[in-house]
Amino acid sequence: MIAIVDYGVGNLFSLRSSCAKIGVEATVTGDVNVIEKADGIILPGVGAFRDAIGKLRQTGLDKVVKEECAAGKPLLGICLGMQMLLQRSFEGGEYDGLGLINGSVKPIKDVIPADYKVPHIGWNKLIFKKRTPLFKYINEGDFVYFVHSFYAADCEKNTTAVTEYGYPLTASVENGMVFGCQFHPEKSGEVGLKILRAYAEIAEGGKQ
Amino acid sequence: MITKRIIPCLDVRDGRVVKGVNFEGIRDVSSPVALAEYYSSCGADELVFYDITASHEGRKLFTEILTETAKNVFIPLTVGGGINTVEDFDRVLKCGADKVSVNSGAIKNPLLIKEAAERYGNQCVVISADVKRVDGEFRVFSKGGRVDTGMEAVSWIKKCVDLGAGEVVLNSIDTDGVKKGFDLEMLDAVCNAVSVPVIASGGAGNIEDFITLFTSLPKVDAGLAASIFHFGEVRIDELKKRMRAAGINARI
């Protein structure tokens, strides 16, 4: 079972539906016991970094996520959920993240050409940087759906894929059993479902 | 690079897809859920569900259909129609919508955009504008294109973006249903005024109209249409192949 962490931020309907579509048991939960029992954790997130990390800490769920990670349980952060895995964010100030992956979150507008639109919204190609089990069912050049104004910076060592938007923006990261996707697999059609299936298999595989 | 998006729009009334010509003479087309699945499999990049129901019962039917669609279709879903309050945003987002488009609701209360953007993020709020030429200027119309608000369109759209709208759907009433191509002049004026994505709507009659749109106005991010897709006059997979052949970046 995969625990989709519900800490009061964002819309979890599509994530739950996409797991159901591929036959993966997933529970939307804010219950520490359920998260502890799960084979894998998905950390979603939309909106502002400060609000999201604040709510995660307020609910105390940041602790259980970190503890389970330390114990080797697979974790997948999506969009803002991925950004929260990093050490800090410079969105509207400076805020600490979970520190599970080295690097920081910075504005896209600082690195892309001036005539490019922000947010980076729409379908863009994945360019692989490292082999990752998360992409075992997809191909380089496959399209996924992005919506974001900030990106994961200074995390080259952990970057598994980038996407080109006048600058190679980080598309996915990985550090041991910690995974992150800047794009939305639950909104990326068949390609996204294949990524979620691969993640579910990683989680199921870790179950002894 | 990011691809140009192709977006079929499904006008839904009492649980069925309809499409009008110049907003009148509505014809019944098909089941929204089946149509959404079909479009997704053909390569639609996004779907817009537009609720033109007036009754409470119809609205309930709409959210049921939305839920059913979101359980089976995994591409971005935008919902519009009858969005007047933040509670309306909440209602459709809970049923699986990713973005919500506001039109008359924002004309009545522009701060709705700000309030919704603060709660759900700019990416969630789409300003949809029905625009028509009146006395040599672009004029915003409300109530499904029936009422002239007297407001100049480009400044209105700019104001909405300043308030927090993350995307613009520009529907030209002048070209809607006519099938002679998108309103390039109107689109150019709006694209030059805002920095957020602009979605062209109204006037597509064939594949060539999309090619013309994206080649002559590279700033336009997406093309939206309804009847030509519903009646099979244009197939999305064929459209995208032709776009690629014409050097336009498309997701296939």
CATH class of the domain comprising A2-205: alpha beta
Domain that holds residue B30: 5-245
Query: What distance separates the 2 farthest-apart alpha carbons in chain B?
Result: 47
Active-site position among A19, A79, A155, A181? A79
Digit-coded pLDDT (tens) for B50-93: 888 767 777 888 889 999 999 999 999 999 998 999 999 988 99
Domain segments of chain A as ranges: 2-205
For residue B9, is pLDDT > 50?
Answer: yes
ipTM value greater than 0.85 = yes
From the list A20, A123, A193, the residue facing B3 with the nearest CB is A123
Quick one: what percent of chain A has pLDDT higher than 90? 88
Per residue of chain A (208 residues), what is the pLDDT tens digit? 999 999 987 678 899 999 999 999 999 999 999 999 999 999 998 878 998 999 999 999 999 999 999 999 999 999 999 999 999 999 989 999 999 999 999 999 999 999 898 889 999 999 999 989 999 999 999 999 999 999 999 999 999 999 999 999 999 999 999 999 999 999 999 999 999 999 999 999 865 4
Q: Which residues are CB-contacts of B131 (< 8 A; sequence separation ≥ 6)?
A: B138, B139, B140, B141, B153, B170, B171, B172, B173, B186
Residue B250 in contact with residue B6, Cβ under 8 Å?
A: yes
Concatenate the DSSP letters of all residues of B77-112 into one string: EEEESS--SHHHHHHHHHTT-SEEEESHHHHH-THH
Chain B residues with CB under 8 Å of A46 CB are: 120-121, 123-124
Known catalytic residue at A79: yes
Give the separation between CA A25 and CA A16, rounded to whole angstroms.
9
Token pair 């609205």 in the structure block, residue:
B59
Quick one: what percent of chain B has pLDDT higher than 90? 69
In a domain, B213, yes or no: yes
In a domain, B188, yes or no: yes
In a domain, B55, yes or no: yes
Altogether, the residues listed in chain B come to a count of 252
Q: What is the CATH classification number for the domain harbouring B173?
A: 3.20.20.70
> Which two three-digit tokens encode residue A11?
């819309």
| pLDDT computed for residue A206 by the predictor | 64
Give the separation between CA A63 and CA A4, rounded to whole angstroms.
15
Q: Which residues are CB-contacts of B207 (< 8 A; sequence separation ≥ 6)?
A: B234, B238, B239, B242
This prediction's pTM: 0.92
Altogether, the residues listed in chain A come to a count of 208
Q: How far apart are the first and last CA of chain B?
A: 14
Residue B153 in contact with residue B183, Cβ under 8 Å?
A: no
Residue A202, classed as helix, strand or coil, is helix
Residue A81 in contact with residue A180, Cβ under 8 Å?
A: yes
Digit-coded pLDDT (tens) for B16-42: 887 544 334 334 446 788 888 889 989
| pLDDT computed for residue B177 by the predictor | 86
In a domain, B89, yes or no: yes
CB contact (8 A) between residue B94 and residue A11? yes
Cis before A74? omega within 30: no
Give the separation between CA B60 and CA B70, rounded to whole angstroms.
15
In a domain, B38, yes or no: yes
CB contact (8 A) between residue A189 and residue B75? yes
CB contact (8 A) between residue B70 and residue A13? yes
Could you give the number of structural domains in chain B? 1
